[in-house]
Structure 1
């Protein structure tokens, strides 16, 4: 079975932290203007989104599932009894509607596991789980993702916020040093390594950031 996600009004160039937050934390160390800083926040946020493997900002989406291998054979299960549909978006907060072959299901006929993004089919009369059976498609309209700052209800995972700030701070602080310098060392006193990647290059994220994001990471990215 395959699915495709569509978004009526996608969030353009999401930012996982704000200019004001970074100015407050860096103070006089921050030498770039707001326009440059905002661009770097957007680039860093894009890198983090690619690294975790899922679309981060909250959006209203529609995911359409269709069958493979059963064309022309009528109705049949797309999963064994009780197996859920796995929605591609993370942090699903609301199911607006579920339409099965053109018929809108009553909310009593399905249940959501929000942590897993799993949608289970239930028999309304008995309350027992059942298979998702359909001929053409299942269309699930839902809200998923995280509220971004500066909204007072922002609920981004702390690791996403932290790693975004680290990337932008690294860019800003590295402006004043020799860009070819990879490390500094005074034997017995200190040793420090610099990140030599660039904001906008997710393939070169520092190892500490990759480790911090590891628990959030998904193996695929649904960015539609």
Structure 2
């Protein structure tokens, strides 16, 4: 009983704003990654790492809110999973930047194009999350846009990997494939988030 009273009496957690904040941090990190891909400035990685740490803090705040809130606007499981998928995109954005730095990769047109697509994906994801609790149609429309971009990235990934095996430098093949994989994984998490958003809408109608 005490636990229930405590949960009700706590300051209300704005889950929608926390999810929006996560997507904004992710969009910012991908923007910086895009800049880094065409501007070899290692200080940009520090900015991405800072955003990733801030994203972890926001996710923790959301999880704490779930645990402390008696009634949530959408199911606890959906909140937790959606937040986790967004956080994973941010994690992969950081790991992509770190791999580019660690492998000493020069400016690469394929990577730049991948990241441009990832920018489009994260911006659409942000629009979908912003529409939560406002417009089911807008949530779904933007979520579908996310899935379309993910499909493009996946096709581009397969073509890029195929081209890699035309190279003679085994080390270069391994390095680039690893970077491509991290960007592809980020897109997969975007697709996962889009599915969750559509699922949330279906449960709400």
Using the size of structure 2 for normalisation, the TM-score is: 0.26
Structure with bigger strand share is 1
Structure with bigger helix share is 2
Using the size of structure 1 for normalisation, the TM-score is: 0.25
